[in-house]
Homo-oligomer: A and B are copies of this chain.
Amino acid sequence: MSNTQATTVRPRRAVLQMPEYHPPLAGRDGLRLDFNENTLAPSPKIAEVLQRISTAGLTKYPEREPVERIVAAHFGLNADQVLLTNGVDEAIHLLCEAFLEPEDEALIAVPTFFMYEVYVAATGARTQGVQADASLQFPLAGILAAIHERTRLIAIASPNNPTGAVIRREDILAIARAAPQAVLLVDEAYYHFHGETMLQDIAAVPNLIVARTFSKAYGLANLRIGMLAGNPEVLRYVRKVGSPYNVNGIALECLQVALADEEYVRWYSEQVRAGREQMEKGLAALGVPYWPSHANFVLMNIGAKHKELVAAMRKRNVLVRDRSSDPGCDGCVRITIGIHEHVEQGLAALKASLEEIGWQAK
């Protein structure tokens, strides 16, 4: 293969200018407190689903519609108000593709989930970021002031990643009213760790789209399944640009069982809420500044030694995520909150690592 020729084809201008995202795609061994995954397992009933999957059935293209009906009913919605996607990644991708012309603008609070900017850039549209102040709370006034006629997408994660901050329902409704020409995506990936949702508002707010993932509380990141809920006409445009076979069949099977086991997801979410309190108390005791979180992670400010901390934690087989390059997050490290035992392990590794690197509270 050493004789590979230089290619003669050029991509779209927007693709040349896109930022690249390089998350680890291999080798995440240890206690994974780096990607806000469920740290334990999905519902134990998922094991039964895997046991009863017939290999003969794997030959068949997946059938999304019956599962969309079940999911819609679970949330008290109609089937045409729900679109299942190959993770929320695909949901964001398709929303951008369906609604953003190159001359349009997308509006986000900064810092937030990186993929909004990536998929906006793929369309050639511009991302307008409104920086949060040092509190890392949602910059409502700045967002409202930044809306103009070319704003065609506003993406808000609530709880937000990596800050853990939330936005109030009335503020979301105010943004929706201020930008009727824009799709307002409220990404509720971390909903279960906070408990407030906009799902009940989608019928009345015709530009509101809610995203949910089954990768976090439900523990199914490996299967790639997410969901958009919103106005049927908006979703029809999103369906047009996507594949009818976007969600794999095993994910469709597992999703129904995971949704039905409400007790498990309630138990796991309670573990996280208790663990978050434990982590925040632990950080306070250590003198590490942090931002109060409504999600299954806590963002802490380590300062100049952030890289050393991540490396020291890794030596102890605990993975955490350096968020120092996020705007306004200089020196910050994010730690995922899981079940009690994993919070204990994370805190113990953190304490030992801070000692090892000679970190001092200010």
Contacts and interface: CB of A to CB of B under 8 A. Distances in A.
Interface residues of A, number: 98
Interface in A223-276: 223-224, 231-234, 237, 240-241, 243-251, 254
A150 interface: no
A268 to B, nearest CB: 10
Interface in A12-39: 12-13, 15, 18, 20-28, 32, 35, 37-39
Contact of A245 (B224, B237, B241, B248): B224
Secondary structure at the A interface, as helix, strand, loop or mixed, is: loop
Contacts of A32: 60
B26 A63 contact: yes
Contacts of A204: 3, 5
B243 A90 contact: yes
Q: Copy number of this protein in the oligomer?
A: 2
B223 A248 contact: yes
Nearest to A39: B59
Interface in A209-231: 215, 219-224, 231
A78 interface: yes
Nearest to A235: B7
Contact of A7 (B23, B207, B221): B207
A249 B223 contact: yes
Contacts of A61: 23, 35, 37, 215, 221-222
Nearest to A37: B59
Given A5-B203, A59-B37, A59-B221, A25 B98 contact: no
14 contacts: A1-B81, A4-B81, A9-B181, A10-B181, A12-B98, A15-B237, A25-B64, A39-B59, A40-B56, A42-B59, A58-B254, A59-B220, A86-B90, A86-B224
Given A9-B234, A46-B58, A224-B248, 4 more contacts: A5-B204, A8-B181, A41-B58, A93-B243
